[in-house]
């Protein structure tokens, strides 16, 4: 049977500004998203049973709550190959960490099954379906470093230098909903005016999350000893940026053992798109 293995990359919000809160409760934001060359691994295999099976690292997530299942189910009406799918998931990304693990799994599933089920949908159509699964899904579908506006779905490709990042997960789960519904969250950052510098930016969620989760404050304070550092998304993961891999690895070796961490390089085009292109060329 046809098998396709893809990475579901981590994402970082190199900055995250919250401009206002919409009537529907979602927030208008501006953020510079970049994908990393590290993430979860998903293997897709078509099966005769007309079923969506997920095996591997699924601990703690109910089958029908898994964003992989939701993504596959959303594509069922579009498939021209009437077969089921078995998905093997190997998690490497911390859940609810602000690195988009669930959203990335969903996007990778949409990209893989659009191909295996021969749905023939464009990236725009996949991103529209993805937005229903989460505000972060469209950026993974397009798979490019991008300036995000709207709730995260209005994406403008942005040329940003590839760097090395040390990403640290302090082992606390931050609820995105809790952060976005907190009255103390700053919600009135003005839209960026070009030209702008990274020094003009920040993560508007950082102060609130540091106050609510002292372990995040400790992580940021530790990272800032070595390199410019920020929290990604609504946290809890934080990242430090380096110009070379060796320095980033040396800092990782000094990381307190109670935290999890990895070093990865940013990729202006997501690893998923490159893997899919290679697989399609081999299939020809």
Ligand X SMILES: Nc1ncnc2c1ncn2[C@@H]1O[C@H](COP(=O)(O)OP(=O)(O)O)[C@@H](O)[C@H]1O
Ligand Y SMILES: C[C@@](CO)(OP(=O)(O)O)[C@H](O)COP(=O)(O)OP(=O)(O)OC[C@H]1O[C@@H](n2ccc(N)nc2=O)[C@H](O)[C@@H]1O
Residues involved in catalysis? 11, 136
Percent helix, percent strand, percent coil in the chain, to nearest 5: 35, 30, 35
Closer of 156 and 257 to ligand Y (Cβ): 156
Q: CB 66 → ligand Y: shortest distance, Å?
A: 14
Burial of 192 (0-12, 13-18, 19+ CB in 10 A): middle
CB within 8 Å of 196: residues ≥ 6 apart: none
- The answer to whether residue 105 forms part of the interface with ligand X (CB under 6 A) is yes
CA–CA dist 234, 99 (Å, integer): 9
Which of positions 210-239 make contact with ligand Y (CB under 6 A)? 233-234
Do 178 and 213 form a contact (C-beta atoms < 8 A)?
A: no
CB of 213 to ligand Y, least distance (A): 13
Subset of residues 49 to 108 that bind ligand Y, contact rule: CB under 6 A? 98, 100, 103
Q: Which is nearer to ligand X, 62 or 254 (CB)?
A: 62
Site for ligand X (CB under 6 A): how many residues?
Answer: 19
Site string for ligand X, 135-174 (x = CB under 6 A): -x--------------------------------------
Q: Tell me if 143 sits within 8 A of 127, measured CB to CB.
A: no
> Which of 66, 189, 219, 272 is close enough to bind ligand X by CB under 6 A?
66
CB of 169 to ligand Y, least distance (A): 12
SS3 of 240, please?
A: strand
How far is 102 from 94, CA to CA, in rounded Å? 9
Stretch that binds ligand X, among 43-51, 94-102, 115-123, 153-161 (CB under 6 A): 94-102
What DSSP letter does each residue of 87-121 carry, written as one string?
A: EEEE--SPTTSSS-HHHHHHHHHHHHHHHHTT---
CA distance 221 to 206: 12
Q: Of the two residues 53 and 176, which places its CB atom closer to ligand Y in the complex?
A: 176
Q: Which does 105 bind (CB under 5 to 8 A by kind): ligand X, ligand Y, none?
A: ligand X
d(CA 3, CA 1): 6
CB of 133 to ligand Y, least distance (A): 7
Q: Which residues bind ligand Y (CB under 6 A)?
A: 13, 16, 25-27, 29, 31, 98, 100, 103, 134-136, 151-152, 176-177, 180, 233-234
**Chain positions contacting ligand X, by CB under 6 A:** 61, 65-68, 95-103, 105, 134, 136, 176, 233
């Amino acid at each position: 049977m046809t098998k396709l293995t893809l990475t579901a990359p981590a994402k970082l919000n190199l900055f995250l500004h919250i401009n206002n809160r919409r009537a529907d409760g979602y927030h208008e934001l501006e953020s510079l998203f970049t994908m990393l060359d590290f993430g979860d691994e998903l293997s897709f295999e078509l099966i005769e049973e007309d079923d969506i099976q997920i095996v591997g690292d699924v601990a703690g997530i109910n089958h029908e709550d898994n964003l992989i299942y939701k993504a596959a189910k959303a594509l069922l009406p579009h498939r021209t190959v009437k077969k089921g799918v078995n998905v093997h998931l190997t998690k490497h990304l911390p859940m609810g960490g602000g690195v988009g693990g669930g959203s990335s799994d969903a996007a990778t599933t949409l990209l893989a099954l659009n191909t295996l089920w021969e749905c023939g949908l464009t990236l725009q159509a996949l991103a529209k379906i993805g937005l229903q699964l989460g505000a972060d899904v469209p950026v993974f579908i397009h798979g490019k470093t991008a300036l995000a506006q709207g709730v995260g779905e209005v994406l403008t490709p942005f040329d940003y230098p590839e760097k090395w990042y040390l990403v640290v997960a302090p082992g606390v789960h931050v609820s995105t909903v809790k952060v976005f519904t907190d009255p103390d969250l700053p919600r009135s950052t003005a839209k960026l005016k070009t030209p702008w510098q990274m020094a003009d930016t920040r993560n508007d969620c950082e102060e609130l999350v540091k106050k609510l989760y002292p372990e995040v404050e400790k992580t940021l304070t530790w990272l800032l000893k070595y390199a410019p550092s920020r929290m990604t998304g609504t946290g809890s993961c934080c990242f430090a940026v380096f110009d070379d891999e060796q320095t980033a690895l040396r800092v990782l070796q000094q990381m307190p053992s109670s935290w999890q961490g990895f070093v990865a390089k940013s990729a202006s085009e997501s690893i998923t798109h490159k893997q899919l292109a290679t697989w399609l060329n081999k299939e020809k």
